[in-house]
Amino acid sequence: MPIPASTQTPLLAIVGRPNVGKSTLFNRLIGSRRAIVGDEPGITRDRLYGETTWEGRALRVVDTGGIIPDEKEHIPKEIFRQARVALDEAAAIIMVVDARTELAAPDMELARLLRRLSKPLLLAVNKVDSRQQEPEAENFRRLGITEVYPVSAEHGTGAAELLDAVLKLIPAPAQEAEEAIEPTESETSETTIPADEQEEKAPARETKVAIIGHPNVGKSTLLNALTGTARAIVSPIAGTTRDAVDETVEKAGARYRFIDTAGIRRKGKTHLMAEKLSVVMARKHLEAADVALLVLDAVEGVNSLDATIGGYAHESGRSVVIVVNKWDLVGPTRKDGARPADRAVYEQQVRRALKFLDYAPIVFVSASTGKHLDRIFSELELVAAERRKRISTAQMNRFLETVDFDRASVPHRQKVKVFYMTQASVAPPTFVLFTDKDVKLHFSYERFVGNQIRRAFGFIGTPIRIKNRARSKVELGPRKRKRRG
């Protein structure tokens, strides 16, 4: 007896946070307007299945947004749990994100949950309504999904490429599969495990974290709170003095090693000594770290010692997360009767005082009440991934086409002509510009290029280094002649 067509037809599941455009994409793919499209998040919809054919192959499509009934749909775990039935059945999954919003921790979490399913997974970066916006989709590569497609569900652009990619990734129906005994070259490469899934199975990389800041900002309180909220393993390192102790914490499958926790708790006997010690410790801890938590006291704001310590963090090439601690004394929960500080305004002030750390995310927490400490872990996870991110030369070339280098305001003599650019290394991400002149790049040129790279690829939390290399004429000369002859 033939299997009913409906269960044999591969299912494509559309997943994502509310309002990213899942139902618009669903409608686009099935070519009708059956789903309800609305701006209100949390709108109740029925489970929505539709059918479509593409390149002669039938597909069923499910909009999992339709199966999440309440406000819990904002929580990635809940999105995942409620969509689970559809995901289990799915032959391929499309995660949808909104290109107009910043990539946030919940997206990272949802992507991680989806990657674990080890099913063909594609990322549709939606609301890319014009070609100029396409490079923005690259920002979302941080989610660790290799198949990234900019689309505009509303206008339909990119939908064809997306469906082509879906069909490539899901196995052909039974009859066709039997005929194709020898896998073709393209099929072989597609059945190998994608790189991101291999990473998922490998033991988690450890991120080394330094907690730095001037005396009394709350470093030891924060350390206690961070190691208290997660499973902490105290591990003395062999061969060092007894009081040099690291503490390792596991959170959401990632490991964080807080460096020299005894040092973080050590206090100077006098105020001046404590201040000096905090700078010495910061430099020492930065050396051993990947990421620094630069802790500030919300009551005091940024002082010159903070700027000095932050400056060391910046120069060290480590990633930085700015932690505004004691927010309980300044924000909405303040009890001294004064008007609560506005977070956005406060952030602006911090940014102004620590301009050179413009790439560092800021979190507002209270170490003593435990409020928002989870945000520290989300940011740590994000910046740790960002500093190890690699942009392929192909991506780089596509990006270069979008950059107008003449816009950099640089003295004429120091202007260079850019031929191409490659990423030479990670942690911190270092780029080499191949240009016509062997000159030290003007600092404003360096900053211009750095900003452009950031706009296209993110690199949140990490400094970017840029080097210039003159494309050697000597090297090119002989090769040209050789080709001619």
- The contact set with ligand GDP (CB under 6 A) reads 16, 18-24, 37-39, 65, 126-127, 129, 152-154, 213, 215-221, 325-326, 328-329, 366-368
Considering the complex, what minimum distance in angstroms separates the CB of residue 96 from ligand GDP?
6
Q: Give residues with Cβ within 8 angstroms of 123, minimum separation 6.
A: 94, 95, 96, 97, 111, 140, 143, 145, 147, 148, 149
Residue closer to ligand GDP by CB (options 293, 441) is 293
Considering the complex, what minimum distance in angstroms separates the CB of residue 329 from ligand GDP?
5
User: Which amino acid would we find at residue 133?
Assistant: Q
Residue closer to ligand GDP by CB (options 169, 323) is 323
Considering the complex, what minimum distance in angstroms separates the CB of residue 357 from ligand GDP?
19
Positive or negative torsion for Cα 40, 44, 50, 55:
positive
- Phi-psi sector, 446: left (phi>0), alpha (psi -120 to 50), beta: alpha
Considering the complex, what minimum distance in angstroms separates the CB of residue 60 from ligand GDP?
18
| Residue 181 to residue 176: CA distance in whole angstroms | 9
Residue closer to ligand GDP by CB (options 302, 441) is 302
Considering the complex, what minimum distance in angstroms separates the CB of residue 262 from ligand GDP?
12
Assess whether the previous peptide bond of 428 is cis (omega < 30° from 0): yes
**54: β partners:** 57
Residue closer to ligand GDP by CB (options 110, 410) is 110
Cβ neighbours, 10 Å, residue 90: 25
Considering the complex, what minimum distance in angstroms separates the CB of residue 22 from ligand GDP?
3
Half-sphere exposure of 478 (CA within 13 A, CB side): 3
Residue closer to ligand GDP by CB (options 306, 446) is 306
User: Which amino acid would we find at residue 377?
Assistant: F
- In 3D, which of 156, 158, 100 has the Cα closest to residue 124? 158
Considering the complex, what minimum distance in angstroms separates the CB of residue 99 from ligand GDP?
9
| Residue 38 to residue 383: CA distance in whole angstroms | 34
User: Which amino acid would we find at residue 86?
Assistant: A
Q: Are the C-beta atoms of 86 and 11 separated by less than 8 Å?
A: yes
Considering the complex, what minimum distance in angstroms separates the CB of residue 193 from ligand GDP?
29
Residue closer to ligand GDP by CB (options 153, 421) is 153
Could you tell me the two tokens for 371? Answer: 């409020």
| Residue 303 to residue 271: CA distance in whole angstroms | 15
Residue closer to ligand GDP by CB (options 21, 450) is 21
Considering the complex, what minimum distance in angstroms separates the CB of residue 215 from ligand GDP?
5
Considering the complex, what minimum distance in angstroms separates the CB of residue 53 from ligand GDP?
22
Positive or negative torsion for Cα 199, 200, 202, 206:
positive
- The alpha carbon of 111 is separated from its chain's Cα centroid by a whole number of angstroms, namely 11
| Residue 59 to residue 208: CA distance in whole angstroms | 46
Q: Are the C-beta atoms of 410 and 444 separated by less than 8 Å?
A: yes
Residue closer to ligand GDP by CB (options 22, 442) is 22
Residue closer to ligand GDP by CB (options 147, 328) is 328
Could you tell me the two tokens for 76? Answer: 């990635």
Residue closer to ligand GDP by CB (options 19, 451) is 19
